[in-house]
Amino acid sequence: LQANLEINATLGFIVKMLMAFGFVFELPIVIMILSWMGIVTPEFLRAKRRHAIVLITVLASFITPGDVIVLTFMMMVPLILLYEVGIFLSVGIYRRKAQRDQEFETDTTPPTGSVETQ
């Protein structure tokens, strides 16, 4: 092993890690948007959890610079936790959608500007 004390290498490593973690922390937002659009459901996300963990492992190994396995695990753990946060947020979005749909179905007030007939 040889110590790499060059500032360019150190700053390059730090910038790559910051970019990788910045990219990773967008996962719950992406899941929220996909849930809001109706593309994914909380049930789908739960059912495909194992597939997501495998994909997260592959993604973490590509995102992290170098071949240090510790960095891959440092990226995997937050990604898995953020995936779970995304599922939680997706549940909230679907509950809100269901509540709005139920309110819309039970709403008996005439639309504003309409003429009431008696």
pLDDT digits (tens, 9 = 90+) for 20-41: 888 888 999 999 999 999 999 9
Sequence-distant (≥ 6) Cβ neighbours of residue 27 within 8 angstroms: 79, 82, 83, 86
- The pLDDT score that the predictor gives to residue 52 is 96
Where in the sequence is the domain holding 56, given as residue range(s)? 27-96
Q: Whose structure tokens read 């049930």?
A: 43
The Cα 9–Cα 13 span in angstroms is 6
Q: How many domains does the chain have?
A: 1
Do the domain assignments include residue 109? no
Sequence-distant (≥ 6) Cβ neighbours of residue 21 within 8 angstroms: 75, 78
Do the domain assignments include residue 75? yes
Do the domain assignments include residue 79? yes
Q: What is the pTM of this model?
A: 0.74
- The pLDDT score that the predictor gives to residue 7 is 83
Paired tokens of 89: 């947020």
Q: How confident is the model at residue 44 (pLDDT cuts 50, 70, 90)?
A: very high
